Amino acid sequence: MAGRILIIDPVPTNRMVLKAKLALAHYDVSLADSVQQARKLASTHVFEAVLASSALVNHSVDCILEWVRGLRGNSGSATTFIFMKDRPNSTSARDVLDQCLSAGADDVLNRPFSEDVLLARIRNLMRSHALNRELNLPRGHHNVQYETKTTKALPPINIAIAHVNSDTPSHQADRLLGCLEEAFQRSPRTQSIKTIPLTVLTQPDSAPSEPDVVLLVAGRRDAERALSITSQLRSRARTQDLRVVLIAENLAHFQIARAFDLGAHDVVPLNIQTSDLVARLRNQGEIHHVIRSKKHSVRESLLQAITDPLTGLYNRRYAASRLVELQRDCLATGKHFAILAFDVDHFKNVNDRYGHAIGDAVLTKLADTLRQNLRDGDLICRTGGEEFLVALPHTDLARATTTANRLRKAVGALDITVKNHATPLRVTVSIGLSLQDGKMPIPEMLDQADRALYQAKARGRNVVAMAAAA
């Protein structure tokens, strides 16, 4: 089965026709004629998608928007919600679009719709939700959006308009985009909307300020090129996070379906009502903000898992995995690498005499000194307390020894200011050096470097002791 879908529609004919179409696409379909019945089914089944009639939006007994909003805001449902509306050009139908998107719906489709377009849109939105789950988003991006809207203002949305064929923009497109700019200027939230050359989006290097949403405007003859550009934007690392909205004149149903399958986040006709386009663009901008924020949080969490919070250096966990990479490289290239085990001499006395704040200052100064005196490809870690580890790839014994002594002298030359003390504090480090050919297991490499460090301590500290590879 491709997935389980729930259809909610008070009209029996609509339910049965839609069920037949989805069943042919191998979906497991359940039917409900009311929100109350849908709630019961959802309590016992997990649905990948819900298709609901917009006739239920203003139902006085049990409004479906309250149910959607509750699922998004409380349980964090990952279900794809698509509303289906009749009479798309009526005033009440235009209000429904904004209401549905604000409540957490993923899209609102106008009846009658093509079977190919519907199936492509379902696939498109399911992929989007799968990405959200991989990012550990609270299930469904609108869950985050709804909470964010009620707690703090979202940042401005940056929208870029790009004509697929800038030589012959249609009068209809110019009129619509003029109305769009005017509508955003009246918006209570500051928006940035500007027209840019298509080459700015397709160039290899990043622009100074990437937009959040790209509105690709295609004329009657530009559909295939617009689809190709959509595919490019969604596949390239630089632009794959942009929200791409394709607005085109007289797209065929199979072209709309292809656009969704190629990754377009929305596809709208050129004769769309301005208010509808504004609502859709604002919705895409908010989705972009939420996903970008979540990606940043995930990156920060991953970084925190492998870094030392005091010094900002990598920690022991990261060192273990990086040493495995260095070992593989060493065995593949035949080039040795060196491990340096550092220990701050008499560090306990520093903490006892000056306090832990000064001890922390010593460690951060030492970390900064190591960064300033090593190559970008060298590994620098704080492995615990006053202990540090440095790994030097593609290094022979002479170069490793020279580097170790240079680092030792740089640390010894540090002046650390201590409040209420006339003279600055100075510390020294002892270093154990182990040159590796990659044949020794990682734990034994570290033990060897530690034994060399103990030798340096035994020789009076502030020296470099070397142990050859076994």
| DSSP label of 373 | T
Domain final residue pick, 301, 336, 364: 301
Contact 319, 308 (CB under 8 A): no
Which range, 44-53, 150-159, 268-277, 335-344, is most confident?
A: 335-344
Q: How many structural domains comprise the chain? A: 3
Residue 64 lies in a domain: yes
| DSSP label of 137 | -
| Three-class SS state of 6 | strand
Q: How much is the CA Rg of the chain, to the nearest whole Å? A: 31
Residue bearing the bigger pLDDT, 167 or 252: 252
Q: How confident is the model at residue 97 (pLDDT cuts 50, 70, 90)?
A: confident
Q: Which of 23-32, 192-201, 395-404 has the lowest mean pLDDT?
A: 192-201
Whether 170 and 287 share a structural domain: yes
Whether 287 and 348 share a structural domain: no
Which range, 73-87, 91-105, 244-258, is most confident?
A: 244-258
pLDDT at 88 over 90: no
Residue 309 lies in a domain: no
* Per-residue model confidence (pLDDT) at position 220: 80
Domain final residue pick, 116, 140, 164: 140
Q: How many residues does the chain have?
A: 470
Question: Where would I find the beta strands (DSSP E) of 385-448?
Answer: 387-392, 429-436
Closest by Cα among 32, 50, 28 to 41: 32
Whether 158 and 218 share a structural domain: yes
* Per-residue model confidence (pLDDT) at position 141: 41
Whether 175 and 296 share a structural domain: yes
Residue 27 lies in a domain: yes
Contact 469, 435 (CB under 8 A): yes
Task: For residues 77-89, give the mean pLDDT.
Answer: 79
Q: Which domain holds residue 441?
A: 316-467
Residue 80 lies in a domain: yes
Whether 75 and 15 share a structural domain: yes
Q: How confident is the model at residue 11 (pLDDT cuts 50, 70, 90)?
A: very high
Closest by Cα among 417, 410, 413, 316 to 357: 417
Q: What contacts 310, CB < 8 A, 6 or more positions away?
A: 360, 363, 364, 382
Q: Which of 134-148, 155-169, 313-327, 419-433 has the lowest mean pLDDT?
A: 134-148
Domain final residue pick, 260, 277, 301: 301
Interstrand relation of 243-248 and 157-163 (parallel, antiparallel or unpaired): unpaired
Calculate helix-pair angle for 91-103, 274-306, nearest 10 degrees.
Answer: 10
| Stretch (H or E) spanning 424 | none
Whether 250 and 285 share a structural domain: yes
Whether 3 and 89 share a structural domain: yes
Residues 369-413: tens digit of each pLDDT: 999 999 999 999 999 999 999 999 999 999 999 999 999 999 999
Closest by Cα among 203, 199, 201, 194 to 166: 199
| Stretch (H or E) spanning 453 | helix 442-458
Whether 114 and 171 share a structural domain: no
Q: What is the mean pLDDT of the chain?
A: 86
Whether 294 and 157 share a structural domain: yes
Distance of CA 259 to the CA centre of its chain: 23
Residues 276-326: tens digit of each pLDDT: 888 899 899 988 988 888 888 888 888 999 999 999 999 999 999 999 999
* Per-residue model confidence (pLDDT) at position 147: 43
Tokens 């065929």 belong to which residue?
252
Per-residue tokens: 392: 């030097």
pLDDT at 146 over 60: no
CA distance 309 to 340: 22
pTM greater than 0.75: yes
Residue 308 lies in a domain: no
Let me know the angle formed at the C-alpha of 448 by 339 and 316, rounded to the nearest 5 degrees: 55
